Amino acid sequence: MIFRMTSLFLLVIMLVSVAQAQQLGPVTLWIPIVQSPPPTVAGYLGSEQNDALVAVGITSTGNIIIAGNVPVLAGVPETVLPNGESGALVQIAADGRTISRIVRVASTLSHAALAGDGSVVVCGPDGLSVVAPDLTTIRWTATPGNVARCAIAHDGRVAALMAADRTLLVYPANGGMPRSINVPGTAVHDIAIDATSGLVFATGYTQAASDLKVAFLRAYRLNDGGLAWQRYGFSASVVKGAGLTADSEGRRLAMGADGMLYMAGFTDGGNSIFTRDPADIHRTLSASELIKFDTYNNPFNLSGARSLAWYGRFDPATGTLLRGQWLLTRLSDGKGNSISIRGLAAAADGTLLLVGDTACCLQSRNGMQLFAQTLGNYESGEPFVLVVKSDFAQRLLWTALAAPDATAGGSPAVAVAVTADRLAVVVNLNPNSANSRALVTTGNPMFATRLGGTDGYYVTMPLNR
């Protein structure tokens, strides 16, 4: 029997001998069984050519599935599916270091998403395909054109965002004719889909006036494509009338393992619509709705217009904002500075993970340590990983990833995945002319040093609470 546990359990073994049974009765032994924590591994993926990772997921068996454009992966078993070229799925075993295989699924990938049963939807200029959990069987393929983002629900239905316009396509679980939804606005940045509520979601912004972008979050019914609810998306006159003149955008969406909808947004100032009820701009959010506990989630003393981040948890069925929070960095003089969220994921208990890239500087950036190593110095655009407690009242981890004696500027963390006990993050490291950029490695990965060109990179570690 295999025991999979995340904390200490006690196994009770009843040992009875004939003599003892007569004299002492049953003897009970309490033997502690402790499962080893998930592995901590960080390393590169790719070759001397340019590589670009786009998504990551963790299967129920602990395998890590990374999607991206990886022209060569030396020494790794390779499977080529129809039309498979650089666009690939890389499977890493549960130990975090063994690269089991690379499966070539498309010419190029823009995005991918992992379903609960281990199947994967991949999308890009070729259209989209759903790959079975064995990663060798294509369940179905569609060729609607260039797909920018894709999502898959637990019942197998798929949503696809077309790159050319704001069209959202929803496919049945077995493929076939999709339902087409036109999403109003200037740009749609991301989508998500939820079979439980029967809704598909879209976020982006409308250029409401020449000097004002206004974020929106919309939900559409899967059964008929109709609008179920809208949050934000206010008119320019209403926003300006409320004195909220900062630009805002919805940037990323994710369905959490807790069944909640998560959104990450951008704004260029603290006087933003994200301070208000997304259904009623005239109601300021309370302290229990917009959680602030230090200067890194309270947008004051800004150094001019800055790219601030905001994230929130919503009830997917109703669009009610349950909790929200700002995110910004601070210069050495205390002034607020920029940060951008490029990926997010939530565990079943609501623990929230966010990744992206940042300007100076994360909290306690100087002398920051990770994996018992002192990280290299800050450089603009370096990647970050943030883990936030489920009540948004504490940061459990907030770290950069620059290797010791190196920097990691211009190299965003682009995606994150989480289970009950571990996380996985992928980054694209962009080299500089001085060849001084590198990311921290640990745990004996297959590729522990930079490979050349733009390098893919992953890190997996326990989710400590």
Question: pLDDT by residue (tens digit) across 189-213?
Answer: 999 999 999 999 999 999 999 999 9
In the DSSP assignment, the letter for residue 274 is G
Strand arrangement, sheet containing 78-80: 52-58, 64-69, 87-92, 99-106, 78-80
Quick one: pLDDT at residue 8? 36
Q: Three-class SS of residue 441? A: coil
Residues 25 and 160 in one domain: no
Other CB atoms within 10 A of residue 23 CB: 8
pLDDT, tens digit (0-9, with 9 covering 90-100), for 235-272: 999 999 999 999 999 999 999 999 999 999 999 999 99
- Alpha carbon separation from 162 to 156, 202, 218, 250, 301 (Å, rounded): 19, 12, 16, 17, 39
Distance CA 142, CA 130 (A): 9
pLDDT attached to residue 31: 53
Tell me what the mean pLDDT of segment 39-54 comes to.
95
pLDDT-derived band at 19, boundaries 50, 70, 90 = very low
Average pLDDT of every residue of the chain: 93
Give the model's pLDDT for residue 383.
Answer: 98
Nearest to 397 by CA among 415, 423, 360: 423
Alpha carbon dihedral 429, 430, 431, 432, in 10-degree steps, equals: -130
Let me know whether 65 and 11 are in one domain.
no
Q: Strand runs (DSSP E) across 7-110, as ranges? A: 9-15, 27-33, 41-45, 52-58, 64-69, 78-80, 87-92, 99-106
Reported as type and span, the H/E element at residue 239 is helix 236-241
Rounded to two decimals, what is the model's pTM? Answer: 0.93
Residues 6 or more apart whose CB falls under 8 angstroms from that of 219 comprise 197, 199, 200, 201, 227, 228, 229, 230, 316, 319
Same domain assignment for residues 117 and 218? yes
pLDDT at 13 over 50: no
Are 98 and 91 contacting, i.e. CB atoms less than 8 angstroms apart? no
- Is the model's pLDDT at 90 over the cut of 90? yes
pLDDT one-digit tens code per residue, 296-326: 999 999 977 799 999 999 999 999 999 999 9
Burial of 79 (0-12, 13-18, 19+ CB in 10 A): middle
For residue 6, what are the contacts with CB-CB under 8 A and spacing of at least 6? 35, 420, 421
Same domain, 128 and 22: no
The predicted pLDDT at position 100 comes to: 97
Residues 70 and 102 in one domain: yes
Confidence at residue 3, expressed as pLDDT on a 0 to 100 scale: 34
* pLDDT(14) > 50: no
HSE of 375, CA atoms in CB hemisphere, 13 A: 25
Q: Are residues 346 and 361 in the same domain?
A: yes
Give the other-Cβ count within 10 Å of 101's Cβ. 17
Both 396 and 382 in one domain: the answer is: yes
Average pLDDT over residues 45-62: 95
Taking residue 19's Cβ as centre, other Cβ atoms within 10 Å add up to 8
Is residue 15 domain-shared with residue 49, that is, in the same domain? Answer: no
What average pLDDT does the segment 148-175 reach? 97
Token pair for 431: 């080299």
Rounded distance, CA 102 to CA 65, Å?
A: 10
Same domain, 96 and 157: yes
Domain count across the chain = 2
Cα four-point dihedral sign 151, 439, 85, 433 = positive
Confidence of residue 28 (pLDDT cuts 50, 70, 90): low
Range of the structural domain that residue 28 is part of: 1-35
8 or 68, greater pLDDT: 68
Same domain, 450 and 320: yes
Q: Could you tell me if 257 and 366 lie in one domain?
A: yes
Per-residue pLDDT tens digits for 342-356: 999 999 999 999 999
Q: What is the pLDDT of residue 2?
A: 35
- Alpha-carbon distance of 256 to 388, in angstroms, equals 13
Section 458-463 average pLDDT: 98
Summarised one tens digit per residue, pLDDT across range 367-420 is 999 999 999 999 999 999 999 999 999 999 999 999 999 999 999 999 999 999
